Amino acid sequence: MENKVVLHKGVYWPKKDGVEEITSSYAHPLSTCFLLMNTFKDVPQNISSFVDKKDVIIQAGGNAGYYVMQYANIFKRVYTFEPDPINFFCLNMNVRSENVYKFQGCLGQVNECVNLFNTNETLGHGGSHVNGKGYTPTFTIDNLNLETCDLIHLDIEGYEKFALLGGINTIKRCKPVIVVENYGPWLQRYNTNIEEIEQILLHEMYVHVGIVQGDRVYKHRSLI
């Protein structure tokens, strides 16, 4: 596995990370590495500004752990999910904090095993998505059986609807701030759209309160 990763600016990344392989000193501007470290580096801080209590966060996908590292400094406990083996290796190399709990798997609606597929080479290992049955385990948010949860941040390539449906009991019980990626083509992979996701959240008394780098932020009515 180590020959598939590189240490770039103090952070381990998959070498195949976009239109060109990254090196210790160079990452293409379209690579996940470059985007997270430069263009989108403040996303965790900006999302966290919507959260009043900062005890527990559920975050997926964990990717190589760049955002996870930041969330570990903001929240008391971080639960992160990343299914891609190379990304998960990097995540473990990058994140050593004792308050971070890492799961190599997907978040979904039911416990099952799924296939991972990547059709977008410009995203490198950041573009893996669920595509049928396979060997990668799927967890649900409700599996964690958390007594408290303050933020759910989902960036899972269009699979957000299913992760939310697998966490309804947690959402009802804890009323966390919820953040979902909103990119139409990836939602269409699963015959869904942002309107359907908003209907699920509306049913649980959530309202849209902001946008951070294209991700939509929702908060329970009682907490506004």
Domain CATH number, residue 179: 3.40.50.150
CA end-to-end span of the chain? 46
Q: What is the mean pLDDT of residues 37-41?
A: 96
Q: Does residue 181 surpass a pLDDT of 70? A: yes
* Domain annotation covers residue 35: no
- pTM for this model (two decimals): 0.96
Domain count, the chain: 1
| Token representation of residue 57 | 């966060």
* Domain annotation covers residue 10: no
pLDDT in tens, 193-212: 999 999 999 999 999 999 99
| Token representation of residue 183 | 């990119």
* Domain annotation covers residue 31: no
* Domain annotation covers residue 28: no
Q: What is the pLDDT at residue 149?
A: 98
Residue 154 in contact with residue 132, Cβ under 8 Å? no
- Measured CA to CA, the distance from residue 12 to residue 30 in angstroms comes to 17
Q: The domain containing residue 156 runs over which residues?
A: 40-223
